[in-house]
Amino acid sequence: MILALVIAAAISAAAFRARALSIDGALAAVVVGTIVLGMGGAAWAILLLAFFISSSALTRWRAAAKAAAGEEVLKGGRRDAVQVLANGGVATAIAALAALRPDLALFPAFAGAIAAATADTWATEVGLLSRATPRLITTGRRVPAGTSGGVTPLGTAAALAGGLFIGTLAAALVLVGWAGSSHSVGDVVSAASAASRAAPVAAARIALATLAAALLAALFDSLLGATVQAAYRCPRCDRPTERRVHRCGARTARTRGLAWIDNDAVNLAATAAGAAVGWWVG
């Protein structure tokens, strides 16, 4: 746990310096990273890093082209503590549970939660570049870019790619025998010999479970975004927004959804759904 804390602190500090995390986001990432690496293991931490590095890179990728579409969302590119816990809280809880109950074989649930967060972030960051006008997933009505619950073919393809990315990585980690949670030398030896016998089947199973988790969670995320997530409209500019007070200074009016359900709450629910699908399929 001490070694995990040192590694998590070093990576979080680097992410803070690179302006990928705010100061409270970096502190939350230390907690998340320590538990995932210390109680899950190396394979678990590698999946977490794959999500975090790819998502931060995609946020920066063509940021100028996405600025106009992204300006009505509540938060910018620098992740805060609430965003870190909304995307990583479920995965962290699963890693802690896996250390207490190794018999539950929770790696597919963890991979499902990470895949859900990855698919949603990739879909958002790539989807903002879509030339096609997003359509609301529930009614098919055209909505402005950046609207919660709006989907485009490009964004959907990005969600699929994110699920394939995490699924392929999880399968590779199972193939090399890193994905079990082992707590003694005897466990390591028996896990390694068992892994060599069952690895190809287990790898195929985890890839399928992770991809299914990513796609169903992305669908769930969009459905919640189009229905219960709070959406607002500025009366002065006549524009939809996620903000309660618009950039122009006017108070906005809620047009749909529940006031207490924001994008972070939807992400938390979607990662929980990803974990459930991953565990069930896996």
x-or-dash string of contact with Zn ion, 185-224, rule CB under 5 A: ----------------------------------------
* Residue ranges in the chain assigned as alpha helix (H): 2-17, 23-35, 42-60, 63-70, 81-100, 107-127, 153-175, 185-227, 263-281
**The one segment of 60-68, 71-79, 117-125, 231-239 that binds Zn ion by CB under 5 A:** 231-239
Of positions 246, 266, 270, 277, contacts Zn ion by CB under 5 A: 246
Nearer to Zn ion, 218 or 234 (CB): 234
- Amino acid in position 24: D
Query: Residue 235 Cβ, how far from Zn ion at the closest point, in Å?
Result: 8
CA distances to 120, 144, 236 from 132, rounded to whole Å, are 18, 10, 27
CA distances to 94, 140, 148 from 179, rounded to whole Å, are 14, 41, 35
Query: Residue 136 Cβ, how far from Zn ion at the closest point, in Å?
Result: 22
62 binds Zn ion, rule: CB under 5 A: no
Of positions 104, 248, 253, 258, contacts Zn ion by CB under 5 A: 248
Query: Residue 172 Cβ, how far from Zn ion at the closest point, in Å?
Result: 48
Q: Comparing C-alpha atoms, which of 154, 147, 149 is closest to residue 123?
A: 154
Of positions 237, 243, 244, 265, contacts Zn ion by CB under 5 A: 237
CA angle 267, 241, 62 (to 5 degrees): 70
Contacts with Zn ion, residue ranges (CB under 5 A): 234, 236-237, 246, 248, 250
